[in-house]
Amino acid sequence: MEWVVVISVLLMTTLSLFRVNVIVAIIISAVVAGLMSGLNIIESIEMLISGMGGQANTALSYVLLGAFAVAISYTGITTLLVNFLIRILTGKKTMLLLAIAGVASLSQNVVPVHIAFIPILIPPLLKLFDQMRIDRRGVALALTFGLKAPYIMIPAGFGLIFHGIILDGMTQNGADITLSEVSLAMIIPGLGMIVGLLIGVFFTYRKDKEALPDVEGMANIVKPIEEKVTFNTKHLLTIVAILGALIVQIITGNLVLGALTGLILMVAFFVVPFSKSDKIVADGVSMMSTIAFVMLVASGYGTILKETGAVDALVEVSSGFLGDNKILISFVLLLVGLVVTIGIGSSFGTIPIIAALFVPICLAAGFSPLATAALIGTAGALGDAGSPASDSTLGPTSGLNADGKHNHIWDTCVPTFIHFNIPLFIFGWAASLFL
- What long-range pairs does 407-412 form, CB within 8 A, spacing at least 24? 407/19, 408/16, 408/22, 409/16, 409/17, 409/19, 410/17, 411/136, 411/137, 411/140, 412/137, 412/140, 412/144
C-alpha 300/C-alpha 311 separation (Å) is 14
Cβ atoms < 10 Å from Cβ of 252? 12
C-alpha 354/C-alpha 334 separation (Å) is 10
End-to-end CA distance of the chain: 34
What pLDDT is recorded for position 230? 74
What pLDDT is recorded for position 185? 92
The helix-helix angle for 347-365 and 369-381 (nearest 10°) equals 150
| For range 165-170, the mean pLDDT | 80
Q: pTM, whole model, 2 decimals?
A: 0.75
C-alpha 344/C-alpha 413 separation (Å) is 15
Nearest to 170 by CA among 368, 339, 424: 368
Range list of β-strands (E), 104-196 = none
SS3 category, 160 = helix
What pLDDT is recorded for position 65? 74
pLDDT band at 223 (very low <50, low <70, confident <90, very high): low
**Which has more pLDDT, 184 or 303?**
184
DSSP secondary structure letters along 377-427: HHHHHTTTTT-TT-HHHHHHHHHHTTTS---IIIIIIHHHIIIIIHHHHHH
C-alpha 350/C-alpha 236 separation (Å) is 39
Distances (CA, A) of 300 to 22, 266, 323, 346, 403: 14, 35, 34, 12, 31
SS3 category, 209 = coil
DSSP secondary structure letters along 298-328: HHHHHHHHHHTTHHHHHHHHHHHTTTT-HHH
C-alpha 307/C-alpha 303 separation (Å) is 6
pLDDT band at 220 (very low <50, low <70, confident <90, very high): low
Burial environment of residue 239 by CB neighbours within 10 A (0 to 12, 13 to 18, 19 or more): middle
**Which has more pLDDT, 202 or 57?**
202
Cα–chain-centroid distance for residue 106? 14
The domain tally of the chain equals 1
Nearest to 124 by CA among 223, 42, 55: 223
C-alpha 310/C-alpha 317 separation (Å) is 11
Burial environment of residue 240 by CB neighbours within 10 A (0 to 12, 13 to 18, 19 or more): middle
What pLDDT is recorded for position 229? 67
Distances (CA, A) of 178 to 75, 163, 330, 356, 435: 42, 10, 21, 17, 15
CB 367, CB 376: distance < 8 Å: no
Structural domain of 340: 4-210+218-434
C-alpha 116/C-alpha 21 separation (Å) is 21
What pLDDT is recorded for position 142? 94
The model's pLDDT over 149-167, given as tens digits with 9 standing for 90+, comes to: 988 998 876 777 778 778 8
The model's pLDDT over 320-345, given as tens digits with 9 standing for 90+, comes to: 666 667 888 888 888 877 877 776 66
Please tell me the least confidently modeled range out of 119-128, 199-208, 282-291, 361-370.
282-291
| For range 225-238, the mean pLDDT | 73
The model's pLDDT over 286-300, given as tens digits with 9 standing for 90+, comes to: 766 766 776 677 778
C-alpha 69/C-alpha 72 separation (Å) is 5
